[in-house]
Structure 1
Amino acid sequence: MNNFRCAIASGMLLCALAFVPASAQMRPDPNQPDMVVSAAQRQAVIDAMIKEMHRSYVFPEQAKKVEAVIRQHQKKGDYDSITSAEKLSTTLTEHVFAQTRDKHLRLFYSAQPIPEEPKDKKPSVEEHEQQLAGMRSQNFGVERVERLPFNIGYLDLRAFAPAKDAADTLAAAMTLLAHTDALIIDLRKNGGGDPATVTLLASYLLDERTHMTDIYFREGERTEQMWSSDVVPGTRFGQKKDVYVLTSKYTFSAAEDFSYALKGLKRITLVGETTGGGAHPGDVMRLNQNFAMFVPNGRSLGPVTKANWEGVGVAPDVSVTAEDAFKTAQIAILNKLAANEKSPGKVERIKTRIAKVNSENTAGTMAR
């Protein structure tokens, strides 16, 4: 889950689409030029990183431990030979992760200067339009909507774009799927996004306002409750029909929030692989003109479990490879339809469809 600002210039891919998740896009452009860093510059980056962690990281005690680890590496001279900006960012990220096991906590190098902006600065009209154009080019994360044989709905969602921007597109998709008899939501390539969109999509699958999750923020020690909505644009799918959610090890952040919350509510059946394990929302913080850091400033908590999926992921109900998840979900739905069907002729047609799905090459489903 991310609530980060588009804070880094064009050298960082995350600025092209503000909603694109940390796991998928918060990486430097692989084609950007590297930069030589001096000992003084290296020291400045390390000091700024540690200062920012003490100021913002959701676990203050871990920030202290990270500083101790990093200072120990410095004393041993482990950074002395690093003159590459790229190498410095990856090495520091590895050392921080070794202590925290936090998959959102990352350091980044940008060849393009990172502008110094107030934390609460809103994008200009031009910047907002650029972000919207980028989101529109990816259809606000909605990759594919389909009605499969025997009235099975299928939604391939690649990102949870900001709710205010994605609402109409999600409403159109869910309205098209509202009258299907069962639904498959494919999150195998979804790396996260806006927690508000998690509750928006969940609202189509629930009949009444439901407490989904809590997000604790270090600043102000406040907790924000996330609830599904009583009213949705378009047509609600409802709570009585089966929903299968497909996951992979790449399913991350807000996509995990959706999976974790609805699994806890026993509203969905998860099929696929254990997810990536990132449960800490945060922000991109500028360290200097060429380095920035994504710092988690909050953590997600299940309203009942008071826990989350950080570092462990969300385990599926039906464990299969990501490539087989689409096939497995379809067959489960079809078998249930056949068991409840009274017409012998239709039962035979369903069985024929099951055989066809079983024989299909599943490798292509992840490549779509």
Structure 2
Amino acid sequence: MTTPTRLAPAPVIDETARLLTEHYVFPEIAEQLAGLLKRRLTEGAYDVDDAEELARLVTADLQSVNGDRHLRLKHHATPVSLKQGAATRDAMRRDFDSSLGGAPRVQLLDGGVAVVELAPMLFPLEWAAEPLSAAGARFGGSKPLYVLSSDSTFSAAEELAYDLQQLGRAVVVGEPTRGGAHPCQGWTLHPHLEATVPIGHAINPLSSTNWEGTGVQPDIPCAATDSLDHAHALALARLAG
């Protein structure tokens, strides 16, 4: 039996504030947020013993100014390394290993329409190239392509949908996505807590903007639960034509 690591909120808050001011892509907002965190700490808002609860409270405050969903204090149930970025990478590797390399479902539907599920996220190319190539090796660059979206589609998955949509290569079917476009880095502040701070601002060369805050807007809006049926019907009609 292991002894839980003691949670001391003050060092976590101080380090989060430092990371904000040194790395956040929007310096003026970083100053506002650093001041907010320190004020809330002084007020006793973070006087909790539970790492998960502290993560929830701090994340709410971090996202209170501009709604940046990549800006957060993440809780990890499994203790992680203190090495920079290790928390995110370790959790990602576990997801990769448990999801057949990020392509857990390949299915052939009626009419010769194929479904390839990419989940639970998009993984680094050096990991995912082989399993993804195996899942869609004969697809090519000209067949009709439909991307299904929901309100839980986020970050890199949004970028894939957005870029394919902007290029005119795919039709997005489903719900508006969550709206997180800023690339970020992670720092482990405690064995169960990781601060993620956006360090860049994505700009699509075709739209001259991105999906931050607004999400990717579907070409064919529908409930996520109906998106596969809609896309299947669209694909069949396209093939018949």
State the Cα deviation string for residues 280-317 of structure 1 (Å, max 9, x = none). Answer: 12222022455321112122210122311112110000
Is 1:55 aligned with 2:16?
A: no
Q: Which aligned pairs between 1:63-78 and structure 2 lie closer than 5 A? A: 63-74=30-41, 77-78=43-44
**Normalised TM-score (structure 2):** 0.85
For residue 148 of structure 1, report the CA deviation from its aligned partner: 2.0
2-structure distance, mates of 1:100, 1:262: 27
> Which AA in structure 2 matches 1:106?
R
Is 1:276 aligned with 2:178?
A: yes
State the Cα deviation string for residues 307-347 of structure 1 (Å, max 9, x = none). Answer: 11112110000000001101111112223344x3xxxxxxx
1-structure distance, mates of 2:82, 2:97: 28
Q: For 2:185, what is the secondary structure of its paired residue?
A: strand
The 8 Å contact of residues 13 and 38 in structure 2, kept in 1 or not, is answered as: no
Larger Rg: 1
Is 1:91 aligned with 2:53?
A: no
Distance 1:132 1:249, change over 3 A: closer
> Which AA in structure 2 matches 1:43?
A
State the Cα deviation string for residues 77-104 of structure 1 (Å, max 9, x = none). Answer: 2516534333222111101111131111
> Which AA in structure 1 matches 2:33?
V
| Number of aligned residues | 237
Task: Give the one of 127, 137, 153 matched to 1:251.
Answer: 153
State the Cα deviation string for residues 58-113 of structure 1 (Å, max 9, x = none). Answer: 211110111232244345x2516534333222111101111131111111345766
Q: For 2:106, what is the secondary structure of its paired residue?
A: strand
**Normalised TM-score (structure 1):** 0.58
Is 1:162 aligned with 2:162?
A: no
The 8 Å contact of residues 14 and 38 in structure 2, kept in 1 or not, is answered as: no
Give the aligned CA root-mean-square deviation in angstroms: 3.0
Distance 1:57 1:33, change over 3 A: farther
The 8 Å contact of residues 146 and 170 in structure 2, kept in 1 or not, is answered as: yes
Distance 1:74 1:318, change over 3 A: same
The 8 Å contact of residues 5 and 191 in structure 2, kept in 1 or not, is answered as: no
Q: For 2:21, what is the secondary structure of its paired residue?
A: helix
Is 1:310 aligned with 2:216?
A: no
Task: Give the one of 172, 181, 186 matched to 2:134.
Answer: 172
The 8 Å contact of residues 247 and 275 in structure 1, kept in 2 or not, is answered as: yes
Q: Which aligned pairs between 1:207-246 and structure 2 lie closer than 5 A? A: 237-239=140-142, 241-246=143-148
Task: Give the one of 139, 145, 153 matched to 2:100.
Answer: 139
Distance 1:312 1:288, change over 3 A: same
Q: For 1:103, what is the secondary structure of its paired residue?
A: coil
- List runs of 5+ in structure 1 lacking aligned partners: 1-31, 122-126, 179-236, 341-368
2-structure distance, mates of 1:252, 1:134: 16
Task: Give the one of 193, 199, 203 matched to 1:301.
Answer: 203
